[in-house]
C-alpha cells in the first residue's frame, strides 16, 4: 500500500514515519515534506504546493495511492478534502464544512451548544462597542478569541479588563484580517489542559491516547505562546474513567451534532480540553487535524497498524476495527527551536549528529522545520540538514516510565550538534511524581 501525506511539519514526519512502520505500507509521498521526510526510508518528497489540487489528485490516482492524509488545518479549511474527493481520491480529513469546527470558533461554540457539550460560557460579537460593554459587565479574567484561523495567535487570556479591551480593539482594527472580524468572548477556566485526538469515520469516533503539551516558550510555562515546545502521552491527568466521560460527554455528542448538520466528517476530531478543579472535562476548542507536537508523542506508542485506522476512517468501517492497541509505555517529545523563536530567528542553521542521536531504537527525531541541502562539497548522497523554521526538531522517545522516556530524549538531544538552538529542560514538569495512569490504557 502507498499513501500521500500532505504537509511539511513535525506532525507530517510523524504521520509518514508511523505509516511506514507497517510492513503493508511500501511508500509514502510527502507533499511537500521536509528534511526529515527526505531522509526517511520509504518516503519521497514531492515539491507541490498544498493548494495544487489537480496535481495532488493526479499523483494519488496515477500512483494508486490508498489515501491522502491531510496534515494541516489551512488546506482542510480551504476545501482540499472536498476537491480531492470530487476527483475520486480517498481522503483522511474533513471537508470545509466539517473543518469549520476549527476555522470558526463561533461556529464551534454553536455546535457545542446544540450538542450540549461542556464548554466555557461565551458570546459572539461583530463590533467593538458591544464586545467592550460585555467585558465591562462580565469583568476579568476573561478570554478574547478571534473567530478564524490565526496561527495560534488569535487568543488573549486577559487577567485585566484593560487587556481584554485592548485585544478587542486590535481584533476589530484588523490585526487578524478577516479572522478577527468576529470574536468570541468567553469565561476564563482554570485547570490542566489535555489534548484528546480522536479519529472518526463520521459514524464511529474513537480517542487516541490523551496527551499534554507545553505551549509557552519558557521553562515553568512562562513567556509567549509557541506552536508547542514539547508533549507527552499518555497523561495521568486523563485516566481511563475521565477519558470515558470525554467519549460520552464530548466526542459522541459532537459527532452526532455534525451528523445532524449532514456533515460527513472523516478524519481527526481533536478536543482541546481543560480538566476543571472539580474534575470535569470542558472543551477549550476543537481542531480538525492531528495536533503538533502531540502527534509526535502519541503515535510512537501505537501498535495497531496506522494505515488500518486511516483506511477505516476513509471507508466508514471504523466500527469493525478492534480496539486500538498501545504499547504499555510512556512517550515524550521535546522540541528544539532556533534561538529567538517565537520572535525573529535565523534560518539555514546546520544540524549534525542526527544519526548517533537516533541510534537508540526507541528514539526518533521528527523534523519540523528542516530541509536537506545537497552539499556537493561533502559529496554525500545524504547532504546536510539545515533549519528552515523556528521549531526545528522534535525529539521523541518511549520507555517503560515517563522519567525514562524523558531521560532518553535529553540524552539524544545532547548528541545533536545544533548551534543556535534551545529547548526546554522541564517538559512534563506538571505530571512529575504523578506515577499512576502513565501506563498505556
Ligand atoms: N476559556 C478559557 N479559559 C482559560 N484559558 C483559555 C480559555 N480559552 C483558551 N485558553 C488558553 O488559550 C490557549 C489558546 O486558546 P485556543 O482556544 O486553544 O485557541 P488557538 O489554539 O486557536 O490559539 C489555550 O490553549 C488555553 O491555554
Ligand atoms: Mg489551541
Residue pair 150/181 in contact (Cβ under 8 Å)? The answer is no
Per DSSP (E only), the strands in 290-382 are 330-338, 350-351, 363-367, 370-373
What pLDDT does residue 380 have? Answer: 47
The CA distance from 351 to 197, in Å, is 31
Asked if residue 164 has a cis previous peptide bond (ω within 30° of 0), the answer is no
pLDDT value for 381? 45
Which of 120, 284, 289, when mutated, tests ligand 1's pocket best, judged by the most ligand atoms within 8 Å of its CB? 284
Domain limits, the chain: 2-96, 127-181, 192-320, 330-431
What distance separates the 2 farthest-apart alpha carbons in the chain?
A: 67
Sheet of 183-187, strands arranged across: 122-125, 183-187, 142-146, 155-158
Q: Which residues contact 332 (CB under 8 A, 6 or more apart)?
A: 230, 231, 232, 297, 396, 397, 402, 405, 406, 409, 427, 428
Q: Give the containing element (helix H, strand E) for 68.
A: strand 67-70
| Distances, alpha carbon 212 to alpha carbons 139, 175, 253, in Å | 29, 29, 23
pLDDT digits (tens, 9 = 90+) for 78-122: 999 999 999 999 999 999 999 999 999 999 999 999 999 999 999
| Whole-angstrom Cα Rg for the chain | 21
pLDDT on residue 254: 98
> What is d(CA 100, CA 319) in angstroms, rounded to the nearest whole number?
25
What pLDDT does residue 151 have?
82
Peptide bond connecting 64 to the previous residue in cis, omega within 30 degrees of 0: no
Least distant ligand from the CA of 122 = 1
C-alpha of residue 195 to centroid of ligand 2, in Å: 9
Residue linked to cell 488500518: 308
What's the pLDDT at 150? 87
CATH number for the domain running over 2-96? 3.40.50.20
Ligand 1 atom showing the smallest separation from residue 153 Cα: 23
Question: Ligand 1 centroid vs 157 CA: distance in angstroms?
Answer: 7
Question: Which pLDDT score, from 0 to 100, does residue 382 have?
Answer: 61
Comparing CA positions, the residue from 372, 384, 361, 368 lying closest to residue 421 is 368
d(CA 368, CA 394) in angstroms, rounded, equals 7
Please check whether residue 269 is in contact with residue 255, taking contact to mean a CB–CB distance below 8 angstroms. Answer: yes
The atom number, within ligand 1, closest to the CA of 105 reads 17
Nearest to 53 by CA among 98, 96, 16: 96
Collapsing DSSP to helix, strand or coil, 146 comes out as strand
Check: CB of residue 203 under 8 Å from CB of residue 317: no
CB of 102 closer than 6 A to ligand 1?
Answer: no
Task: List, in sequence order, every beta strand (DSSP E) within 136-233.
Answer: 142-146, 155-158, 183-187, 192-200, 205-207, 212-218, 222-233
Decide if 124 contacts 144 (C-beta within 8 A). Answer: no
User: Which stretches within 116-224 are classed as H helix?
Assistant: 128-138, 161-172
Q: Name the strand (E) or helix (H) holding 67.
A: strand 67-70
The cell numbers describing 74, all together, are 489551512
Determine if the peptide bond prior to 196 is cis (ω within 30°): no
Question: What CATH architecture is 192-320?
Answer: 2-Layer Sandwich (3.30)
Tell me what pLDDT residue 435 has.
58
Q: How far is the CA of 65 from the centre of ligand 1 (A)?
A: 37
Ligand closest to 176 (CA) is 1
Distance between CA 420 and CA 388 in Å, rounded? 13
| Common-topology check for domains 2-96 and 192-320 | no
Q: Is the CB of 186 under 6 A from ligand 1?
A: yes
Q: What are the residue ranges in the chain where pLDDT is below 50?
A: 376, 378-381, 436-441
**Ligand 1 center from residue 386 Cα (angstroms):** 32
Report how many helices (DSSP H) and strands (DSSP E) the chain contains, helices first.
15, 22
Q: Which one, of 136, 108, 92, 117, lies nearest residue 3 by Cα?
A: 92
Ligand 1 centroid–CA 144 distance in Å is 9
Predicted local distance difference test score (pLDDT) of residue 179: 73
Predicted local confidence at residue 383, as pLDDT = 78
221 lines ligand 1 (CB under 6 A): no
What does the pLDDT read at residue 134?
Answer: 98
- Write the CATH number of the domain with boundaries 330-431: 3.90.600.10
Classify domain 127-181 at the CATH topology level: Dna Ligase; domain 1 (3.30.1490)
pLDDT at 152: 79
Amino acid at each position: 500500500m502507498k499513501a500521500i501525506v500532505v504537509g511539511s511539519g513535525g506532525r507530517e514526519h510523524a504521520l509518514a514515519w508511523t505509516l511506514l512502520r507497517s510492513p503493508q505500507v511500501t511508500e509514502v509521498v510527502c507533499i511537500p515534506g521536509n528534511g526529515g521526510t527526505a531522509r526517511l526510508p520509504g518516503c519521497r518528497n514531492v515539491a507541490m504546493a498544498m493548494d495544487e489540487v489537480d496535481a495532488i489528485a493526479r499523483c494519488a490516482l496515477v500512483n494508486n495511492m490508498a489515501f491522502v492524509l491531510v496534515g494541516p488545518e489551512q488546506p482542510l479549511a480551504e476545501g482540499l478534502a472536498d476537491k480531492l474527493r470530487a476527483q475520486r481520491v480517498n481522503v483522511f480529513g474533513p471537508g470545509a464544512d466539517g473543518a469549520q469546527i476549527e476555522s470558526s470558533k463561533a461556529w464551534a461554540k454553536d455546535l457545542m451548544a446544540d450538542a450540549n457539550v461542556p464548554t466555557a460560557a461565551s458570546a459572539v460579537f461583530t463590533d467593538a462597542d458591544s464586545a467592550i460593554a460585555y467585558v465591562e459587565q462580565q469583568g476579568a479574567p476573561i478570554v478574547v478569541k478571534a473567530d478564524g484561523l490565526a496561527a495560534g495567535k488569535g487568543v488573549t487570556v486577559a487577567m485585566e479588563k484593560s487587556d481584554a479591551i485592548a485585544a478587542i480593539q486590535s481584533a476589530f482594527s484588523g490585526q487578524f484580517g478577516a479572522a478577527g472580524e468576529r470574536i468570541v468572548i468567553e469565561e476564563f477556566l482554570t485547570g490542566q489542559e489535555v489534548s484528546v485526538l480522536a479519529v472518526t469515520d463520521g459514524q464511529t469516533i474513537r480517542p487516541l491516547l490523551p496527551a499534554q503539551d507545553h505551549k509557552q516558550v519558557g521553562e515553568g510555562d512562562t513567556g509567549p505562546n509557541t506552536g508547542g515546545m514539547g508533549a507527552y502521552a499518555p497523561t495521568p491527568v486523563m485516566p481511563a474513567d475521565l477519558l470515558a466521560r470525554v467519549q460520552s460527554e464530548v466526542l459522541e455528542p459532537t459527532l452526532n451534532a455534525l451528523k445532524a448538520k449532514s456533515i460527513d466528517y472523516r478524519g481527526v476530531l481533536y478536543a482541546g480540553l481543560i480538566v476543571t478543579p472539580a474534575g470535569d472535562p470542558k472543551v477549550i476548542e476543537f481542531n480538525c487535524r492531528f495536533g503538533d507536537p502531540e502527534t509526535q508523542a502519541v503515535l510512537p506508542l501505537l501498535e495497531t497498524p496506522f494505515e488500518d485506522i486511516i483506511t477505516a476512517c476513509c471507508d466508514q468501517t471504523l466500527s469493525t476495527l478492534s480496539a486500538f492497541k498501545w504499547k504499555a509505555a510512556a512517550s515524550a517529545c521535546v522540541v528544539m527551536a532556533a534561538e529567538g523563536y517565537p520572535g525573529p530567528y535565523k534560518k539555514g542553521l546546520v544540524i549534525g549528529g542526527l544519526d548517533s542521536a537516533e541510534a537508540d531504537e526507541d528514539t526518533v527525531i521528527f523534523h519540523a522545520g528542516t530541509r536537506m541541502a545537497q552539499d556537493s562539497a561533502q559529496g554525500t548522497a545524504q547532504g546536510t540538514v539545515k533549519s528552515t523554521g523556528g521549531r526545528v526538531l522534535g525529539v521523541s522517545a518511549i520507555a517503560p516510565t515517563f522519567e525514562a522516556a524523558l531521560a532518553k530524549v535529553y540524552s539524544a538531544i545532547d548528541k545533536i550538534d545544533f548551534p543556535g538552538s534551545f529547548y526546554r529542560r522541564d517538559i512534563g514538569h506538571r505530571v512529575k511524581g504523578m506515577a499512576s495512569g502513565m501506563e498505556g490504557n
